[in-house]
Amino acid sequence: MRCVRDRLRLPSRRGRIGALCATALVGACAALGPALAGAQTTSTTTSTTATSTTATSTTSTGGATTTTTSTSTSTTTTKAGAPSLSAVQEKYLRLAETGIDVQSARWRTSQDGGWYCEILGCTGTYPLLTIWGVVRMFESVDATELAYPSAAHRAAVDHYANDAAKLYWNKYLNGYDPYPGDDYPAAQAWFDDNGWLGLAFMDAYQATGERRWVGDAQRALSFIAANGWSGGGPGGGMWWNTQHQQKSGEALAADSLLAILLYDANHDGSDLRDAQEWIDWANQFDVGFRGLYDSQGPRSSIIDYVEAPLIYGQYLLCQALHRQDYCNHAAAQASTLSRVYGTAYNLAPLYDSIFFQWMMAYDKATGQTHWIGVAEQNASAAMSHATIGDGLWLGSWWGGAIHDPNTQPGMFRTMAGTTSLYAWLAYYA
């Protein structure tokens, strides 16, 4: 069975941290808008394209079926010499731009220089986006710049990377903590947050060539290595957060992949050693159902977005060490995933979009197309079902309720997860 463990990470005040964690067994194993208006300039020759994107949702009530169609227009100013996209990639790019530019604006607030809210309407005592809430949109802007470099896409990367580095850094912890401005010595931080944010910084570097984002990713990994790893052997693994009360497969997955990507960028042997130690531990002590990785240590459940970063990270470790056994194990894990999960991923857009990002990266690295094809099937389902309410992507990809009980109505992360699926397909498809 697969389960997901999510949390609402609340900021701490006067030394008190609030954190809500829920563990649930779910399912079977089987934006920038006006802010960018002045940013679309470049010193090279540019062209401007305006494209309308249409999304359709269907709802049934009392036997009657109602179809709602929403259309939005996005404009992209592209640099001369930008890569040529296929018609399929162009479709996904326009959808991603709609999420980034049009839909995200609904969550924007004047707080913290124009950041975003966790839930529509900015409700609650702590309304702003946490790290966990923002990383999928951060990854979305990275993907669009990778797919089709432009002044607007680059400005979006700079916006998210600059603000994330500023808002979430805790100078006392020397790490990132979840809520904007929660910067004091007793703050609580999560090691999976630091991993996911570090990965977004690495993708920002891949998209822009800016070495400063590598530095921000390295800060995350240094914090993880110093405070998150509990050691090897039975009972070891990666802590979930700085309270050191439970282990986390999510943290292990994100942090292992971050370590090997940083090694590829910096060729620092300590990053390679961390990646190998953590992946070796996972292969020996953190496997469960059909050899897939566990989410909370031995005999816990499997989650798709724990599997994908470890599969791709293991493949990269194979390349770095020239050890075919890691490649073979990554391939075996990917094959098992295909048999266990099938093709319809419907836990929640946040989690499933992480899974597809890294499985598509694995496909591209190995010269395959299987997972890209599965991602396209899920994107097609999302285009039919994810649009609900007043035209926002807040529904499940395959219809019906979102299975994850921790996904609340109106969450930015839900819209961002669907945007991320489209954005990475614009790059990989």
Q: How far apart are CA 294 and CA 331, in angstroms?
A: 18
**pLDDT for the residue 13:** 33
C-beta separation of 18 from 6 below 8 A:
no
Q: What is the pLDDT of residue 60?
A: 36
Ordered per-residue pLDDT tens for the chain, 429 residues: 334 445 555 554 323 223 323 333 233 333 333 333 333 333 333 444 444 444 444 433 333 333 444 444 444 445 556 779 999 999 999 999 999 999 999 999 988 888 999 999 998 899 999 999 999 999 999 999 999 999 999 999 999 999 999 999 999 999 999 999 999 999 999 999 999 999 999 999 999 999 999 999 999 999 999 999 999 999 999 999 999 999 999 999 999 999 999 999 999 999 999 999 999 999 999 888 888 998 765 566 788 999 999 999 999 999 999 999 999 999 999 999 999 989 999 999 999 999 999 999 999 999 999 999 999 999 999 999 999 988 999 999 999 999 999 999 999 999 999 999 999 999 999
User: 235-239, long-range: CB within 8 Å, 24+ apart, which pairs?
Assistant: 236/281, 236/285, 237/281, 237/285, 237/286, 237/297, 238/191, 238/278, 239/191
Three-state SS for 100-144 is HHHHHHHHECCHHHCCEECECCCCCCCCECCHHHHHHHHHHHHHH
User: What's this model's pTM, rounded to 2 decimal places?
Assistant: 0.84
Residue 336: name the closest of 303, 291, 304 by CA: 291
Q: Is 22 helix (H, G, I), strand (E, B) or coil?
A: strand
Q: How far apart are CA 98 and CA 105, in angstroms?
A: 10
> What is the reported pLDDT for 113?
81
DSSP-based three-state secondary structure for 158: helix
In which element (H, E) is residue 239 found?
Answer: none
pLDDT at 300: 65
How far from chain centre, in Å, is Cα 304? 13
Alpha-carbon gap, residue 359 to 53, rounded angstroms: 26
The Cα 386–Cα 165 span in angstroms is 31
388 forms bridges with which residues in the sheet?
A: 392
The pLDDT of residue 242:
98
First to last CA, the chain: 30
